[in-house]
Amino acid sequence: MKKITTQIENFQYFYPYTVAIVGAQSGNQTNYMACAWHTALSFDPPLFGVLVAKKRLTYQVISEAKEFTVNFISSERVKLSAQMGRKSGHDMDKIKEFQIKLSPSKIIQTPVIDEAYVSFECKVADVRAYGDHDLFVGEVLAIHEDEKSFNPEGVLNTGKIHPLLYLGSDFYITINPDTIKHVLPD
């Protein structure tokens, strides 16, 4: 028996999703937030979308900067997700408070987060509102990847990296590398 709901309140049945730390720098303000709602949109040109609610400080900063970085972190750094995702830059300087180490980007002004295993530098190519979130579409201009995090085909090295997955609320999990399968259609 399946339960069918038409009064949809707790809309988070699609998790697990990987957690990215997304943010921007505009003038002397640099701010990041945890972002689970993100998606690749195109290979050529490389386009990557992040969904940000209007009330986030990150929304304001990305809107001003017209650029952002997307930083994927491993499950060992789950605390960073809670810090960036449960505290707002409207109330504190999260970079200072949580001593986040940043590195300069190659092309844009916004720095990348040092401890991310992979980061994208993105220039805003489009913005569109969808209900209570806006989709910022970024053209990916540069990728910073930690050595040996990906194999030559670009597949995550699951022996080295344990990606952080979000389950909703304040729950997280990672993958079990023993379950990896290389499957062909025959």
> Footprint of ligand FMN on this chain (CB under 6 A)?
19, 31, 33-37, 51-53, 56-58, 81, 85-90, 133, 166
Q: Using the minimum distance from each CB to ligand FMN, give the nearer residue, 151 or 170.
A: 170
Question: In the bound complex, what is the minimum distance in angstroms from residue 51's beta carbon to ligand FMN?
Answer: 5
Query: How many C-beta neighbours within 10 Å does residue 2 have?
Result: 3
Supply 121's token pair.
């530098």
Closest residue to ligand FMN, judged by C-beta, is 85
Q: Using the minimum distance from each CB to ligand FMN, give the nearer residue, 59 or 156.
A: 59
**b/e per residue 138-172 (b: at least 16 CB within 10 A):** bbbbeebebeebbeeeeebebeebbbbbbeeeeeb
Question: In the bound complex, what is the minimum distance in angstroms from residue 178's beta carbon to ligand FMN?
Answer: 25
Q: How far apart are the first and last CA of the chain?
A: 35
Q: Using the minimum distance from each CB to ligand FMN, give the nearer residue, 131 or 185.
A: 131
